[in-house]
Amino acid sequence: MQTQTLKVVRIGNSRGVRLPAPLLAHYRIHHAVVAERTAAGILLRPERDGRLSWEATFRATGAEQRKAGDEFADFAAAMDDGLAALDR
């Protein structure tokens, strides 16, 4: 693990640490960080917005349908839409 010493600076009436841009980019930190007190010290991590990615949404939806016992619930509704009875 690589370490870097950062200087504590005055920011208004407070004190803070400026994080270098490459460090922020590496951890995809854009607007905010979450500071967590741990036994080893302060842990800074990116704030997550809680939204699922498309892949995670797809997996969660599939798991929900399997839990309900019907993987093809929407398929049955589409098959009963009456289109098969139409003259072609």
Q: Kindly state the average pLDDT of the residues 16-32.
A: 90
CA distance readout (Å), 56 to 32, 62, 63: 23, 10, 10
Contact call for residues 20 and 33 (beta carbons, < 8 A): no
Confidence of residue 2 (pLDDT cuts 50, 70, 90): confident
More confident residue, 5 or 85: 5
Contact call for residues 46 and 28 (beta carbons, < 8 A): yes
Contact call for residues 56 and 48 (beta carbons, < 8 A): no
Please determine, for residue 54, whether its predicted confidence score (pLDDT) is greater than 70: yes
More confident residue, 52 or 18: 18
